[in-house]
């Protein structure tokens, strides 16, 4: 079946502009995660959605970052007034419901964001 | 706060050499442990996982990892690496009291020379 997809694959933007990054999880997966991967760094957790529950936003680095998930499926990560330090690869992952499988994350290809 | 450390930033091995990548975490409670791999140009994918039971777990492609609770470690091993194992390897921890939050280590880049 189809995996997690993300768009765009690459985004170059000017400092101060807003950007939107999109994630389509695997159909039927109830959990959705956003991570940021900076050059030479591990994955930094940003936000986590689980079904209809309130999202865990504890990893968002500032109030310029926000995310929503519509209809329990597609998610959009928005970065307002981008800064150069926002340049990174933004990864989305989803997990199926129930049992031990809910801890297994399936990752998308990522969106490489470059802020100039 | 939880943290995960991976001791080696970059490991270079010749084919057929044995591999051990270190992973340590800081959390005193019950944990679920994972190793993910990212081959060049590909997505991150799950290599193996530990939830409970036998602390020695086997994953895909001949990899295994051992959970040593007293050392807060979950080291990844492979007895004989191949050139195709060249990739970046990430250790991840989920503390069971933290729901489905995961903390990833910084990754170890493995280069296998043919």
Q: How far apart are CA A89 and CA A11, in angstroms?
A: 10
Q: What is the pLDDT of residues A78-104, one digit of tens each?
A: 999 999 999 999 999 999 987 777 888
Q: Which residues of chain B are within 8 Å of residue A40 when distances are taken between CB atoms?
A: 106
Q: End-to-end CA distance of chain B, in Å?
A: 41
Least Cα separation, residue A47 to chain B (angstroms) = 9
Q: Which residues of chain B are within 8 Å of residue A102 when distances are taken between CB atoms?
A: 100
Residue A1 has pLDDT above 60, yes or no: no
Compare CB distances from A104 to B4, B43, B46 and report the shortest one's residue: B46
Is the CA virtual torsion B37, A101, B28, B20 positive or negative? negative
CB A33 within 8 A of CB A94: yes
Which residue is closest to A40 within chain B, CA to CA?
Answer: B106
Give the mean pLDDT of chain B: 92
Q: How confident is the model at residue B45 (pLDDT cuts 50, 70, 90)?
A: very high
B107: left (phi over 0), alpha (psi -120 to 50) or beta: left
Cα A53 to chain centroid distance, Å, stands at 17
Residues of A engaging B, defined by a Cβ cutoff of 8 Å = 3-4, 31, 33, 35, 40-45, 48, 50, 56, 58, 91, 93, 95, 100, 102-105, 107-110
Q: Which residues contact A42 (CB under 8 A, 6 or more apart)?
A: B4, B6, B90, B104, B105, B106, B107
Predicted local confidence at residue B73, as pLDDT:
96
């Amino acid at each position: 079946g189809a995996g997690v997809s993300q768009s765009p694959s690459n985004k170059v933007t000017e400092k101060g502009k807003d950007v939107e990054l999109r994630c389509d999880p695997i159909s039927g997966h109830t959990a959705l995660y956003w991570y940021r991967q900076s050059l030479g760094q591990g994955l930094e957790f940003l936000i986590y959605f689980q079904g209809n529950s309130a999202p865990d936003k504890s990893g968002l680095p500032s109030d310029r970052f926000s995310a929503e998930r519509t209809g329990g499926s597609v998610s959009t990560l928005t970065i307002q007034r981008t800064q150069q330090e926002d340049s990174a690869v933004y990864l989305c992952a989803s997990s199926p419901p129930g049992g031990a499988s809910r801890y297994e994350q399936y990752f998308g290809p990522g969106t490489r964001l470059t802020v100039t | 706060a939880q943290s995960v450390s991976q001791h080696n930033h970059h490991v270079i091995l010749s084919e057929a050499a044995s591999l051990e990548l270190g992973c340590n975490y800081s959390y005193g409670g019950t944990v679920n442990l994972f190793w993910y791999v990212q081959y060049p140009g590909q997505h991150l994918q799950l290599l193996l996982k530990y939830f409970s039971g036998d602390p020695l777990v086997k994953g895909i492609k001949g990899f295994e990892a051992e959970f040593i609770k007293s050392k807060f470690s979950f080291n990844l091993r492979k007895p004989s690496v191949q050139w195709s194992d060249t990739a970046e390897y990430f250790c991840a921890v989920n503390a069971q009291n933290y729901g489905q939050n995961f903390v990833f280590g910084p990754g170890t880049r493995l280069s296998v020379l043919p």
